[in-house]
Amino acid sequence: MTTMSLTSPNRGWALEKIEYDSGQLEGIYTDLGKLIDEGNNAQIVLHNIEDGLEGRGDSISLVKTESGSLASRMKPTVSSLERIAKVIRAYGEAVAQHAKAANDLIDDIEAAQATLDSAAADFTTAQTNERECTADDNREARSTAEQDLSDAQSALTTARNTLEDLWENWESAYSLWDEAYDAAVAGLVRSDGTTLTVLTMAAIDDLAGADTPAEVAEIWDNLTDAQKDTLRRTYPGFIGNLEGVPYLDRFLANKISYDAVKAGGPYGDPLDGQLEQLGLEVTDFEGQLLEFHPFEYPQATAAVMYGITLEDENGNPVDPMDGITNVNVLVGGMFSSLDDLKNWGQSARDLNQFAEAYGDGTKSATIAWFGYDSPDLASEHGMNSATEGAAALTETLRGLDNEVSTNVTTSVIGHSYGSTTAFLAVGGSDDNLGVDNLIAIGSAGVPDNYHANWTGDDPMDYSGTDIFATRAPGDFVARYGEVSSFGHGTNPEDIPGAVSFESDGGEVPDLYGGTEYGLETPGHATHDGANGPGPLGEWWAKDNGYLSRDTESFRNIAHIIATGEPIS
């Protein structure tokens, strides 16, 4: 944990602890070895059956053929695992050496910085004392002042040199870890063993090593069309999820990835059902896959963007962000997953429709973001899921910020623990991630003044972002989430400058310039169910959750997006 916000003098890197678990990495590497051994053993057994099984007849012939075929299928899998193991070993060695060295220096650097600050203060005092000596002071007093100044100067120089040396060592260790991280990403991307041209392989290394979306965009821009096409087709999972690659290329890559994954199934539930729904969102509802990680554990993650066009009327590709004035990101809370995509995709499309109706020239696009492992009842109390989710959301938002012009208004809408995650991402960042509006609905509490694992001792900082929040009167789950938490016990409505809006039912604008009654949200749910199943299944709580189109809450969100303020 860092206790100061310090930045390295030469490279400008923040002094942060590099997270890793050597024991887990070593365990994964060891067990990968066992898996590879078992895979190789299985292949030998299968080949022995293929070549040496006694007997004649169709059944025997068939089983020999099938055994040979299975052994052949296993071979590329085992070869990939061998390459993955090499990557893990190299990265494990790098963190044990370089990340550890960098982390071990953090306390020393902070202490040296404190010593330097103290020495600088002592020097200033000694300088003042020496300057204040006059001819009236006796020789001994003047001599003492001069000696004190000399000593202070010496101490200051020593402290400065000590700190410089420590920073140099830290930057060196950090840099070596950084290189190992980039190499590991590139190594895993290429672990399928596909061989491409040297230039294209080098492009993967460059893209994996880029530190910001802007750097990625520059590298991508310098590739030839043929290279881009090759990378999209050969490594769609990498290109489709890489922030900084233009969204159009990402959508195309992720569609290729989706088709390949779908064809490789079935995988069993819940993944098969989620893949089915993702496919429907693309084919029937004009959604585009902005992120797609079907095999992430413990839950598949993805993000679907609605309200954009990839082609003009002649079928020519167009920039999907052309004409877009607003981009909104919906972030779910506890238990949220791609199983909820049908409802959330509907809300995303509804939001575009109402924001455009409420605004003057508004052209809205909305992302249904399921990009993190949402918490369960046990983990909801803490900050681990939010910390991981905020890291992932931060990358999405930085990518979005790079993709759209500064004129585009970005709004992030977080429900329940999704607001915890979204507020940590924006408030814990050293900028506002390009987020103009941060909207909490049914918040389970947002991070307290600071969250040690994310911002050091810096307080949450929402500068440059307008905050809005609502909690339905009957939403007991949200309030319980806040008061029972360890680290997210702040009601977002209490943040200075936050604007509260209503969700208890009232008059709202309709789509055609008139007004109508917006429904009350009865509990915590985004769509159906109030605060839970209830004795009667809460049949009365259907289509009136925070994100249901006919609720006061939802209309307020659309109004904020379109105008910057809730319905008055």
Q: How does DSSP assign 222-242, residue by residue?
A: TS-HHHHHHHHHHSHHHHHT-
| Contact of 407 with 362, CB cutoff 8 Å | no
Question: To the nearest whole angstrom, how small is the minimum distance from the Cβ of residue 472 to other proteins?
Answer: 33
Residue 388 C-beta: closest distance to other proteins, Å: 6
Smallest separation (angstroms) from other proteins to the CB of 377: 20
Collapsing DSSP to helix, strand or coil, 442 comes out as coil
Cα–Cα distance measured from residue 124 to residue 129, given in angstroms and rounded to the nearest whole number: 9
Of 247, 406, 248, give the one whose Cα is nearest residue 317.
248
Q: Hey, how many other C-beta atoms are within 10 angstroms of the C-beta on 11?
A: 12
Total residue length of the chain: 568
Least separation in angstroms between CB 63 and other proteins:
5
DSSP at 14: B
CB nearer to other proteins: pick between 237 and 442: 237
Shortest distance, position 460 Cβ to other proteins, whole Å: 16
Report the nearest approach of other proteins to the CB of residue 248 (Å). Answer: 21
By beta-carbon proximity to other proteins, the closer residue of 153 and 172 is 172
Instruction: Name the one residue in this structure whose structure tokens are 């995650």.
Output: 421
Give the Cα separation of 510 and 550 in Å (integer).
9
Of 459 and 537, which has the nearer Cβ to other proteins?
459
Query: Which is closer to other proteins, CB of 208 or CB of 365?
Result: 208
Q: How near is the Cβ of 341 to other proteins at its closest, in Å?
A: 19
Nearer to other proteins (CB atom), residue 23 or residue 535: 23
Nearest approach, Cβ of residue 206 and other proteins (Å)? 14
Nearer to other proteins, 4 or 53 (CB): 53
Q: Are 491 and 458 in contact (CB under 8 A)?
A: no
Q: How far is the CB of 441 from other proteins (least distance, A)?
A: 25
Q: At what angle do helices 341-358 and 271-285 cross, to 10 degrees?
A: 30
Q: Please, what is the minimum distance in Å from the beta carbon of residue 53 to other proteins?
A: 7
Integer-rounded Cα radius of gyration of the chain? 29
CA angle 308, 309, 315 (to 5 degrees): 175
Please give the Cα distance from 242 to 555 (Å, whole number): 33
Tokens of 172: 């060196």
To other proteins, the closest distance from the beta carbon of 31 in angstroms equals 6
Alpha carbons 283 and 407: distance in angstroms, whole number = 30
Q: For other proteins, give the closer residue by CB, 190 or 555.
A: 190
Coil vs helix vs strand at 409 = strand
- Integer Cα distance of 531 and 538 in angstroms: 9
| Residue 559: CB atoms within 10 Å | 21
Q: Quote the CA–CA distance of 290 and 243 in Å, as a whole number.
A: 10
Report the C-alpha gap between 50 and 60 in whole angstroms. Answer: 9
Q: Are strands 409-415 and 437-441 parallel, antiparallel or unpaired?
A: parallel
Closer of 48 and 222 to other proteins (Cβ): 48
Asked if residue 186 lies in contact with residue 205, where contact means CB atoms within 8 angstroms, the answer is yes
- Give the residue with the Cβ less far from other proteins, 41 or 118: 41
Smaller CB distance to other proteins: residue 24 or 154?
24
Residue with smaller CB distance to other proteins, 206 or 395: 395
